[in-house]
């Protein structure tokens, strides 16, 4: 399978474990439901390929030592079937009032059938190759998310990495810079439209030949560690 549970790995080589709350194992995401390929009881399983997993632990250690901050992962390896689910969902009418509530939180200024064309979701997602991760900064003591200028999966120009201090505020700008500096130092490439999205080695950093389509279930906890 060639995947590692980063959370389990981090308990061995990080001063403090990396936190993980997979957004697509719950209904509290931009679809408003659990995504195909994710299981509700696997919310704390963050899978990456070996080089990406070890690099992420290096990022966590640097943040701890230099800023007394940590990482919170919302998504890492993503099954191919999840991307197909995104595509089918984007073409269908809203399925519930709750989905419309999530639209107000995640993509209030566009329609869901625009998400792929605008670059917020990709048909050939780097997530499916296991070297890509979605994450934010947290306070190590309280485990609360720092001000990043927008929530995770906010599909809007406010999430672009080109935002200035005047656009998102000094605190959010500084936090984004801290995250980006640490991630880039250890080989992760940022994505222009999403401040939370980083790909280890970029597209050339893929450690598997094709997109993986393995469901994320609780029995994968600790895999490869």
Residues noted as catalytic: 194
The residues that bridge with 19 in the sheet, in sequence order, are 72
* Separation of alpha carbons 98 and 125, rounded Å: 26
Using the CB atoms, write b or e for 94-106: b if 16+ within 10 Å: eeeeebeebbeeb
* Separation of alpha carbons 51 and 28, rounded Å: 30
The CA angle 116-119-123, to the nearest 5 degrees, is 50
Cβ–Cβ contacts within 10 Å for residue 65, how many? 10
Exposed / middle / buried, residue 170 (Cβ in 10 Å: 0-12, 13-18, 19+):
exposed
* Separation of alpha carbons 25 and 118, rounded Å: 24
């Amino acid at each position: 399978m060639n995947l590692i549970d980063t959370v389990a790995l981090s308990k061995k080589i990080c001063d403090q474990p990396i936190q993980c709350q997979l957004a697509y194992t719950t209904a509290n995401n931009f679809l408003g439901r659990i995504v195909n390929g994710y299981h509700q009881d696997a919310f704390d399983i963050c899978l990456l390929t070996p080089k990406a997993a070890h690099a992420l632990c290096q990022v966590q250690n640097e943040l701890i030592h230099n800023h007394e901050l940590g990482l919170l992962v919302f998504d890492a390896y993503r099954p191919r079937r999840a991307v197909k689910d995104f595509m089918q969902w984007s073409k269908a009418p809203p399925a519930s009032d709750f989905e419309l509530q999530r639209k107000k939180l995640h993509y209030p200024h566009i329609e869901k059938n625009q998400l792929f064309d605008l670059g917020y979701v990709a048909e050939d997602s780097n997530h499916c190759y296991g070297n890509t991760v979605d994450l934010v900064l947290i306070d190590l003591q309280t485990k609360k998310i720092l001000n990043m200028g927008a929530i995770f999966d906010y599909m809007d120009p406010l999430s672009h990495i080109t935002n200035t201090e005047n656009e998102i505020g000094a605190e959010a700008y500084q936090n984004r810079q801290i995250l980006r500096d640490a991630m880039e130092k250890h080989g992760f490439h940022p994505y222009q439209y999403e401040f939370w999205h980083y790909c280890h080695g970029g597209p050339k950093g893929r450690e598997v030949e094709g997109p993986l389509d393995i469901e994320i279930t609780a029995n994968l906890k600790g895999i490869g560690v």
